[in-house]
Amino acid sequence: MAIPAFGWALETSKTARGNELLQHMTEPKTTVPAANSPHAMLREIYEQPQALSETIEHYVPGGASTAEIFQPAVDALGRRERLVIAASGSSRHAGLAGEIMLEDLAGIPVDVEYASEYTYRSTHSLHNPGVLVISQSGETADTLAALREARARGLATVAITNNARSTMAVEADASLPTFAGIERAIPATKSFTTQLAVLYSLALHLARFRGRMTQQAAEVHGRELRDIPELIQAALPGWQKQIESLAPTLSSSSTLLYLGRGPHYAIAREGALKLKESAYLNAEGYPSGELKHGPNALVSKEAPLIMIATADANDPDSLLRYSKVLQLMKDMRDQGARIVALATQGDREVPLYCDSCLFIPTSNDLLSTILEVVPLQLLAYTLAIIRGIDVDRPRNLVKAVIAE
């Protein structure tokens, strides 16, 4: 299926001719199995398909008991005219992606706050919103303070955590735990992608409650969500092999700029954070359209661009964003930038304008966020190993920030 305006096509074959990554995706796995990995972070990256499967089956529309499981959260948030998401670090980036999921699917306006700022914001900033807090541990000090402030204001609250017995899960009006299992490495991987899965499921349930989506449509979205773990499982070995070749060429970069539009901006932010905390390399995440408003001054061969250029061929808004990213890529190429791109499998346009291209399996625009972050996790991990860093215990960081 061709999109003539953008010269972009999806191929029906499982491999794109001449593309190394897509060949690896269909070859037998040659990488070290997750169970034998020397580092918890790599094991946990490879555990994501299983963690996602368990989380999705618990929450996806159409399941035997998912409506009942979601009912407390729907009761808390479904009739609210606005929502606030309060979170920190990677969880806040999940919230940024969740903002667009909730607005696009459920039609609820959402503000995403830094948890450390929410507690000190004016009580008049929003009228009677529902408050959703997100935390891997459920004990993060500033996010817990935000939850308690919301409850003190008489607001309905929901907590997404990776511990159903955590303080946040217990104190919130409703709890939606992820099923990632214990995450030992300090950089969040499987806890982050399972948060995205819960947020997508929440958006579908709220869309049903608010009359914006039929049950049949919700179940179609649910089937697309169920496909995600298998897509990641198939792509992981190829991504790892390509990144192991790519990473040495990036290890001495002065800074890396991660760029994405719409929901993919959240993934650009998360990719940059992973690089900073894992490999001690300076990185920043920006909306793609902001590059020419200042950050462009940094662009050079020593400051490569990591550009998320995926597209959903069935979504006109996604294709419009894609066209803008592609034009920016062409402009930056003319400027002499070094570009690593994430593109949708079958894209024949993006590889013409970048130095390296990581292909992402085809999915809808919102769900592709879960797919995109995984190679960025692998990139951060691989660069950390090249630079001799203890990737599971980066300096100055702890798993749960329990003091403000």
Q: Are 45 and 190 in contact (CB under 8 A)?
A: yes
- Check residue 124 and give its pLDDT: 59
For 139, what's the count of Cα atoms within 13 Å in the CB-facing half-sphere? Answer: 10
Q: Which residue has the higher pLDDT, 38 or 76?
A: 76
- Check residue 281 and give its pLDDT: 96
**Is the model's pTM score more than 0.75?**
yes
pLDDT, the chain, mean: 89
Residue 32 has pLDDT above 60, yes or no: no
Residues with Cβ within 8 Å of residue 125, at least 6 apart in sequence: none
Q: Are 274 and 382 in contact (CB under 8 A)?
A: no
Share of the chain above pLDDT 70, in %: 88
Q: Which residue has the higher pLDDT, 26 or 318?
A: 318
Distance of alpha carbon 306 from alpha carbon 339, whole angstroms: 6
Residue 24 has pLDDT above 50, yes or no: no
Tokens of 117: 């700022």
Averaging pLDDT over each range in 16-25, 63-72, 190-199, which range is the top one?
190-199
Q: Are 172 and 164 in contact (CB under 8 A)?
A: no
Residues with Cβ within 8 Å of residue 104, at least 6 apart in sequence: 203, 366
Q: What is the mean pLDDT of residues 176-191?
A: 96
- Check residue 63 and give its pLDDT: 72
Which of 163, 165, 167 is CA-nearest to residue 147? 167
Strands 110-114 and 130-135: unpaired
Q: What is the mean pLDDT of residues 48-53?
A: 98
Residue 5 has pLDDT above 50, yes or no: no
Could you tell me the pLDDT band of residue 67, with boundaries at 50, 70 and 90? Answer: confident
How many H-runs (helices) and E-runs (strands) does the chain carry?
Answer: 13, 12
For 125, what's the count of Cα atoms within 13 Å in the CB-facing half-sphere? Answer: 17
- Check residue 400 and give its pLDDT: 66
Which of 372, 351, 366, 386 is CA-nearest to residue 235? 372
Residues with Cβ within 8 Å of residue 270, at least 6 apart in sequence: 90, 93, 94, 192, 285, 373, 376
How much of the chain is helix, strand and coil, in % rounded to 5? 50, 15, 35
Which of 180, 83, 185 is CA-nearest to residue 138? 180
- Check residue 122 and give its pLDDT: 58
- Check residue 121 and give its pLDDT: 75
- Check residue 35 and give its pLDDT: 60
Averaging pLDDT over each range in 28-42, 67-81, 175-189, 383-397, which range is the top one?
175-189
- Check residue 8 and give its pLDDT: 43
Residues with Cβ within 8 Å of residue 242, at least 6 apart in sequence: 20, 21, 24, 356, 358
- Check residue 141 and give its pLDDT: 94
For 78: left if phi > 0, alpha if psi spans -120 to 50, otherwise beta; the answer is: alpha
Residue 31 has pLDDT above 50, yes or no: no
Q: What is the mean pLDDT of residues 335-343?
A: 96
pLDDT digits (tens, 9 = 90+) for 260-316: 999 999 999 999 999 999 999 999 999 999 999 999 989 998 999 999 999 999 999
Beta-strand (E) ranges in 39-197?
Answer: 83-87, 110-114, 130-135, 157-161, 174-175
- Check residue 312 and give its pLDDT: 97
Share of the chain above pLDDT 90, in %: 81
Give the burial class of 33: count Cβ atoms within 10 A of its Cβ; 0-12 exposed, 13-18 middle, 19 or more buried: exposed
Positive or negative: CA dihedral 233, 239, 241, 247: negative
What burial letters (b/e) apply to 206-224, b meaning 16+ CB within 10 Å? Answer: bbbbeebbeeeebbbbbee
Q: Are 253 and 280 in contact (CB under 8 A)?
A: no
- Check residue 64 and give its pLDDT: 66
Distance of alpha carbon 13 from alpha carbon 110, whole angstroms: 39
pLDDT digits (tens, 9 = 90+) for 141-160: 999 999 999 999 999 999 99
pLDDT digits (tens, 9 = 90+) for 195-253: 999 999 999 999 999 999 999 999 999 999 999 999 999 999 999 999 999 999 999 99
- Check residue 363 and give its pLDDT: 97
